[in-house]
Amino acid sequence: MPRYTVHVRGEWLAVPCLNCTNTIGWLGKEAVRRYMKNKPDNGGFASVEEVKFYIRRCKGLGLLDLDDTVEDALEDNEFVEVVIEGDIKSPDFIPSQPEGVHLYSKYREPEEYISLDGNSLTTKDLVNLGKGLYKIKLTPEAEAKVKQSREVIERIVKEQTVVYGITTGFGKFARTVIPNSKLRELQVNLVRSHSAGVGKPLSPERSRMLLALRINVLAKGYSGISLETLQQVIEAFNVSCLPYIPEKGTVGASGDLAPLSHLALGLIGEGKMWSPKSGWADAKYVLEAHGLRPITLKPKEGLALINGTQMITSLGCEAVERAAAIARQADIIAALTLEVLKGTTRAFDTDIHAVRPHRGQAEVAFRFRSLLDSDHHPSEIAESHRFCDRVQDAYTMRCCPQVHGVVNDTIAFVKDIMTTEINSATDNPMVFAERAETISGGNFHGEYPAKALDYLAIGVHELAAISERRIERLCNPSLSELPAFLVTEGGLNSGFMIAHCTAAALVSENKALCHPSSVDSLSTSAATEDHVSMGGWAARKALRVIEHVEQVLAIELLAACQGIEFLRPLRTTTPLEKVYDLVRSVVRPWMKDRFMAPDIEAAHRLLVEQKVWKVAKPYIEKYRREHIPESRPISPTAFSLGSLEVNTGVGHDHGQQDEL
């Protein structure tokens, strides 16, 4: 007998359908009737017949025809929503779908698997798991370790040994011994009481990352969870049953207790849960719709699910991957701006960077050469100002290797911290099967990822700070030799005037967001947890900073492409022309003022999807292959020539695009 789960004014109702020829309208009336039956005042209605409503799917929000039969319109156990006409949405209403639902209406359950062992996950793997590209399975070695650590817990319970979190209370209650008959209740109470987060729920991608990372940590075999329970967690991940996890509430020690408790709460069938099939619904209904049972927690298992730094670290992995993506593309955008402003490539000469050999600096200078070297990619724009009388460029162009370079090195440092953290055991107490004992420690403290993510925000912000200054140079006719604000008929048209203001506003906001959260600590749990990392805010604000950086660079990309329009028919280098063509495939040139926000969003989307990098990367890598090794001894002549250029301005050949 088919059954449907129907949402009516915040209530979830299971409605069986004895006759498949019943209509969608019948299903709505039956759901309303059951809703009224459960309300002392009948929900404010005199009868079912007076209720006017429409019905839509929870997945994709598609409206259903009330005259269609349920057999034709719905799958068995599908989730639908009855929307009563005249109802006003409460500000506390949880939507049936998260933001960006259009991304999920085409969701397909992945077929490929990633094998987790707790030791070899990468930040890129985790982000891809968040995107729903893979399912999870454990390696045989991980399964064996999980079983061995569970045996230690079972022995502790059997022998009634006093061990923190297993046979005692938590935090301030660590000295309170719990009788064996209440050990399961202890774990459920832990999850319920610690589910005290607030704020918007994490997106499905971020919830998936959090769940996947907790699975990876449990797979290490130091948590004491049973293999049966861990397999249930994996089954929930593999069908994207994702609990409602508020983004705020963690202080980053003892781990991310509040968000991980919300994660565990859904898995035990309480609270809200989301899946592509159901949208938001009561967790027990979502699990049931996917043929899953709520987890029944055994001793230590509640603690095993909620104790660790996975909220900070999973968001941190997204931050570091997005940071790396935008840093690569920032070099390409800056190179395009340099072309439009008729800058020189002399500042990117190999010898300059060989005598200050920071890795990031050398790589950025290399990318500029690969995009601008006219021996490989002739540039008519560069040729047009080859013998101009300018000696050197402003710092925002000349110093890109030094400024962008340290951002790259910062990202590499943070990525190393994150890679270690995602493959670390962060529980308390730790279960060491080989020693047949548990040890209390402090691996749950989030100071490592918190400090690293504060550093990441500070580093990556500089890409926006320097980009905003380049946008100013593009828009300012006294600096660019282009029309004011990159538009014809200035005055009638304002062009990029306010787009630059937006960039300035984002940069200013970033300055406040870059204040480190990890310099703060507030004592919690009656001074038991008397130093904390505040890593949750470090992770969330790092992501906000990176999004702002992406948006500022999107504006610079649009401005640089608009500048190209005023230099036509001259053409830039081949790779930069490819970047220009990519932008013009989604944003047309500005002939006169128009609604600009969609253009910025389109350019932002190109950067988020790394399409600018994908267009330019083949040219950069080809140049790399042709220039390895790309170094030669530095002669005294090179130094004297450099000094002569700076001090006297003689013989600059400003527009020259070759390697000297």
Phi then psi dihedrals of residue 134, to 5 deg: -140, 155
Does the pLDDT at position 655 exceed 70? no
291 against 528, higher pLDDT:
291
pLDDT of res. 88 = 63
pTM comes to 0.85
Phi then psi dihedrals of residue 28, to 5 deg: -65, -45
Parse the chain into domains and list their residue ranges: 3-84, 113-307, 316-637
What letter would DSSP give residue 490? B
Q: Which residue has the tokens 């290797």?
A: 401
Phi then psi dihedrals of residue 83, to 5 deg: -105, 115
| Residue 375, both tokens | 């021996």
Which tens digit of pLDDT belongs to each residue from 173-185?
888 898 989 999 9
pLDDT of res. 170 = 83
Does the pLDDT at position 630 exceed 60? no
pLDDT of res. 109 = 85
pLDDT of res. 20 = 78
- 113-307 and 3-84 share a CATH fold: no
Angle at 538 between CA 533 and CA 539, to 5 degrees: 115
Active site residue 222: no
Mean pLDDT, rounded, for 350-364: 97
**113-307, what's its fold?**
Fumarase C; Chain B, domain 1 (1.10.275)
Integer Cα distance of 483 and 529 in angstroms: 60
Mean pLDDT, rounded, for 77-95: 71
pLDDT of res. 346 = 92
Range scoring the smallest mean pLDDT among 211-215, 546-550, 583-587, 642-646: 642-646
Write down the architecture of domain 316-637 according to CATH: Up-down Bundle (1.20)
464 against 278, higher pLDDT:
464
The catalytically annotated residue of 164, 448, 455, 623 is 164
Does the pLDDT at position 634 exceed 70? no
Taking all residues of the chain, what is their mean pLDDT, rounded to a whole number?
A: 89
Mean pLDDT, rounded, for 40-58: 85
pLDDT of res. 645 = 34
Which tens digit of pLDDT belongs to each residue from 118-169?
999 999 999 999 999 999 999 999 999 999 999 999 999 999 888 888 888 8
Integer Cα distance of 605 and 553 in angstroms: 11
Q: What is the CATH number of domain 3-84?
A: 3.10.20.90
Integer Cα distance of 375 and 383 in angstroms: 12
pLDDT of res. 622 = 94
pLDDT of res. 658 = 36
Percent of the chain scoring above 70 in pLDDT: 92
CB atoms within 10 A of CB 143: 17
Does the pLDDT at position 107 exceed 70? no
pLDDT of res. 133 = 95
Integer Cα distance of 612 and 620 in angstroms: 12
